Amino acid sequence: MDQVTRSLKLIGELVPLPIGKNKHYSQDQAYQLLFIMSAMHWFFEGPSNYFASLFPGLLPQADTVLLRLKKIPFEQVQQGFDSLIEHHVKLARQLNFLSGKVWIAIDGHDREFYGEPNSFTRGSKFKNGTSTFYSYMTASVVKDACRLVIAQLPYLPLDEPTQTTEKLLAVCSKHVHVGLLLLDRGFYSSTIVRMLKNKGLTYIMPAVKHKNIEKIIAGIRKFPCEMNLMLKDEPVRLVFVQVLDKENKPKVLVFCTNLEIIPEKLTVYYASRWGIETGYRCIEDFAAKTCSTHPTVRLFLFYFAVALFNAWVMVNIQTMEREHVTVIFIRLHILMNVLATAMNAWPPPA
């Protein structure tokens, strides 16, 4: 658990909150509120109002912390939490977790937004009552059931997918030797395939089953099958594999890849990518809630959740051979650690 405690301390050091001259609360107290929010999956007002009624002065008011978050430059949030990722990567490397060629999964993550769309939100498929989202892209290690996030970026409305993917890969290459890249079908485009080829990267991604692909599938008599086709102006190698679905009925999977392996193994290799979906669910378990429309607040809270998720992953990397520590256990540890620290400093000086 020392890894979690060190991570809590490092967040405050790497991402300092602006403090006014006539401050009534310290940065530590502001972060204590943020940690409690994340551990309990609450809004700002919940723990602030609750503890104010029991222990006046223990925690700052919600508006006070929100105001401080809004004053942090967008770029400073990015740089601070990127530095925390570098810290976790360094620790993981010391534990030989990132040695050799590493498999990486890149994916996008949408967080629902219910206000008026702005220059930081993206429109997407209707989900949970909205079609407007704050979006992010992350790259995670796919190894031994531990999905350490090693790169993260906001995905803004004017961002081009290929350029954002290339930026993530540039960060990944600083941290690890990328052996295999796993992408979902949302990345299936001629520009991304060309970029990956130019970088000499090995990749697997599902192909989009448009009408031409469906016609090809209908004409195949024996699986697996490989074909070299054109994706707009880019040549691609598609592998058609037949598997059984949950109802034991045959279905065809189509992979775009430059990996030379037995076709049947593609489904096994690509299955490793699903860990990133589990990772996103766990990140949400550490995410504080907010109704704020401010982009810096939104970015901070998502990266804050990623930082706590990575701390949890590091605990499991360290204890992998002995035990698996659950998310709820880490959240309780954070809550008890923060409350103990806060209560030791209470009541505030008169």
pLDDT of amino acid 349? 60
- Mean pLDDT score, 101-123: 91
Higher per-residue pLDDT: 57 or 162:
162
- Name 123's bridge partners: 132
Comparing C-alpha atoms, which of 118, 63, 65, 48 is closest to residue 300? Answer: 65
pLDDT of amino acid 145? 66
pTM, rounded to two decimals = 0.91
pLDDT of amino acid 337? 83
- Mean pLDDT score, 240-256: 90
Comparing C-alpha atoms, which of 348, 343, 316 is closest to residue 329? Answer: 316
Distance from first CA to last CA of the chain, Å, rounded? 35
Comparing C-alpha atoms, which of 70, 25, 71 is closest to residue 48? Answer: 25
Indicate whether 7 pLDDT > 90: no
pLDDT of amino acid 24? 76
pLDDT tens by residue, 165-209: 999 999 999 999 999 999 999 999 999 999 999 999 999 999 999
pLDDT of amino acid 253? 94
Residues in the chain: 350
Indicate whether 132 pLDDT > 90: yes
- Mean pLDDT score, 259-271: 89
| DSSP-assigned states of every residue in 284-306 | HHTPPP-----HHHHHHHHHHHH
Q: Which span out of 3-17, 23-37, 110-124, 226-240 was modeled with the highest average pLDDT?
A: 226-240
Indicate whether 51 pLDDT > 90: no
Residue carrying the six token digits 């939100």: 121
pLDDT above 90 coverage of the chain, percent: 50
- Name 130's bridge partners: 127
Q: Mean pLDDT for the chain?
A: 88
pLDDT tens by residue, 314-332: 888 887 656 677 888 888 8
pLDDT of amino acid 323? 65
pLDDT of amino acid 2? 64
Rounded Cα gap, residues 61 and 42, in angstroms: 14
Higher per-residue pLDDT: 50 or 157:
157
pLDDT of amino acid 326? 82
